[in-house]
Amino acid sequence: MKSIRLLAGKERSLLRRHPWVFQGSVAKGRADAGETVRVEADDGKFLAWAAYSPESQIRLRAWSFDEHERIDAAFITRKVNAAVALRRRLGLPGEATSNGVRLVHGEADGLPGLVADRYGDLLSVQFLAVGTEKFKPQITDALLAATGCTRLYERSDSSMRGREGLPVVNGWLRGEGSTEVTVHEHGWQLKVDVAEGHKTGYYLDQRNNRALFAEWVQQLGCRSVLNCYSYTGGFSVAALKGGATEVISVDSSGAALARANEHVALNGFDAALHSTLDADVNTSLREYLKAGRRFDAIVLDPPKFAPTTAHAERAARAYKDLNRLALRLLNPGGLLFTFSCSGGINADLFHKIVAGAGMDAEVDGHILKRLEAAPDHPTTICFPEGEYLKGLVIVRR
Ligand code: SAH
């Protein structure tokens, strides 16, 4: 077993059970990609067992902080079983919730660099780090055994793979057949294509926020709804469920919008209640404003503008501008669901950005609720970096 020695003082984050060690913290030692290594402090004291990644800025990802642990197939199976068991305790998958579930959420489940989602009877998995790549057969077996599923699709086509020196992979790992599956979520159905869809196929993290949107649209009697960055129209279907009579889905992906139309039909709604706009959101909001259009409810769920804090400033300006436009487009009493999925922008900063947008728009509102990712995308006490999705429910005054 190879050892990697850290520079003096650089043991602190592992001692706090934070799972990452950056390149600049390593004093000496090398290993192969994905090899399990013993990480030790400057004085030789054991810190963690970790996967070594020779090409990544994140040089080490900790598997375990217990010196007696063996990082083998049994270890991987225990971690996968614990992750699946947690979801079961959360009622996922379940009739009342959904059969689209995040089963493994990387670091939060003690499996750094692994994302595994279940859509109905098939699994869609991203192996995002060399450590998970090395244990791919064991992870695959463990996921299939823990769920009883027989098909597993690999969606290792994230840009994170490149940073780990790994090639892009998109294809069946186990089983074969159609990559499309219909999942249910609360009271509606959605089609997911694990080969073509974003991420592993869908945005499961917004599941509970879509349900909440349906409730608030109904509670406040919203009629006209603008769903910005709609993707395949999850929030649009939720709006229709809540009784909206005019819903517009805006996205720059024509394929996603075609799916949004399919979802309206699939859930039994009249096609006349829904329209799509294949365009840039910011430009569209400006045009609506110029044309004097107003809406009873708006969703803003943009892509990640700031992956890290280094991009936060520019991203903050983009978020502020969007929120300013949306606040101005709301009818008095109207509802705004506004989100940021940028890891580089925390909940406090996001609130400040939206406050700035309100000042600029000269619009005030009541914050009814703060939102986050669904609980099958958990964060842990020791790894605050895992927190990414945050949102506000605002009612315009
Ligand atoms: N709210 C969705 C997920 C949104 S993901 C859901 O609940 O499923 C972000 C979406 O923004 C993607 O579908 C992407 O195609 C779209 N997008 C990215 N940049 C855009 C832009 N400038 N204008 C419009 N849509 C954009």
From 150, 182, 214, the end of a domain falls on: 182
226 shares its domain with 344: yes
Strand order in the sheet with 274-278: 274-278, 246-251, 224-228, 295-300, 330-340, 390-396, 365-372
111 shares its domain with 224: no
Does residue 384 carry a pLDDT above 90?
A: no
Q: Are 392 and 338 in contact (CB under 8 A)?
A: yes
137 CA to centre of ligand 1 in angstroms: 33
From 64, 91, 106, the end of a domain falls on: 64
For residues 48 and 64, what is the distance between their CA atoms, to the nearest angstrom? Answer: 6
304 shares its domain with 234: yes
Mean pLDDT, range 200-213, rounded to an integer: 98
Mean pLDDT, range 361-384, rounded to an integer: 95
User: What's the CATH number where 77 sits?
Assistant: 3.30.750.80
Q: How confident is the model at residue 211 (pLDDT cuts 50, 70, 90)?
A: very high
369 domain residue, yes or no: yes
Mean pLDDT, range 204-228, rounded to an integer: 98
User: What's the CATH number where 285 sits?
Assistant: 3.40.50.150
For residues 41 and 197, what is the distance between their CA atoms, to the nearest angstrom? Answer: 43
From 23, 44, 64, the end of a domain falls on: 64
- Model pLDDT, residue 194: 98
For residues 87 and 94, what is the distance between their CA atoms, to the nearest angstrom? Answer: 10
Whether cis (ω within 30° of 0) applies to the bond prior to 378 is: no
Catalytic residue among 149, 228, 341, 382: 341
145 domain residue, yes or no: yes
269 shares its domain with 373: yes
Cα–Cα distances (Å) from 232 to 213, 237, 276, in that order, read: 16, 9, 10
13 domain residue, yes or no: yes
169 shares its domain with 247: no
196 domain residue, yes or no: no
- Model pLDDT, residue 119: 98
Q: How confident is the model at residue 104 (pLDDT cuts 50, 70, 90)?
A: very high
187 domain residue, yes or no: no
Q: Residue 119 is encoded by which pair of tokens? A: 């859509």
Residue nearest to atom 10 of ligand 1 (CA): 229
Does residue 309 carry a pLDDT above 90?
A: no
- Model pLDDT, residue 386: 87
352 domain residue, yes or no: yes
Overall number of domains in the chain: 3
User: What's the CATH number where 44 sits?
Assistant: 2.30.130.10
Domain of 147?
Answer: 73-182
352 shares its domain with 263: yes
388 shares its domain with 240: yes
- Give the HSE-up count for residue 187: Cα atoms under 13 Å, Cβ half-sphere: 12
What percent of the chain stands above pLDDT 70?
100
Question: Looking at ligand 1, which atom is closest to the CA of residue 203?
Answer: 8
Q: Residue 143 is encoded by which pair of tokens? A: 């996921």
In this structure, the strands spanning 36-40 and 224-228 are unpaired
pLDDT, one tens digit per residue, over 62-100 is 999 999 999 999 999 999 999 999 999 999 999 989 999
290 shares its domain with 146: no
Provide residues with CB under 6 Å of ligand 1: 203, 206, 229-231, 234-235, 251-253, 256, 280-281, 301, 303
Closest Cα partner for 120 from 195, 187, 192, 211?
Answer: 192
191 domain residue, yes or no: no
Residue nearest to atom 21 of ligand 1 (CA): 280
Contact residues for 192 (Cβ-Cβ < 8 A; gap 6+):
100, 119, 180, 181, 182, 183, 201, 202
168 domain residue, yes or no: yes
306 CA to centre of ligand 1 in angstroms: 15
Cut 0.85: pTM above it: yes
Closest Cα partner for 4 from 56, 61, 55?
Answer: 61
In this structure, the strands spanning 151-156 and 169-174 are antiparallel
239 shares its domain with 380: yes
Task: From 210, 252, 342, give the residue whose CB has the most ligand 1 atoms within 8 Å, as the site to mutate.
Answer: 252
215 shares its domain with 353: yes
230 shares its domain with 355: yes
326 shares its domain with 209: yes
Mean pLDDT, range 244-251, rounded to an integer: 98
Structure-derived torsion over alpha carbons of residues 183, 186, 187, 191, reported in degrees to the nearest 10: -20
Does residue 369 carry a pLDDT above 90?
A: yes
45 CA to centre of ligand 1 in angstroms: 47
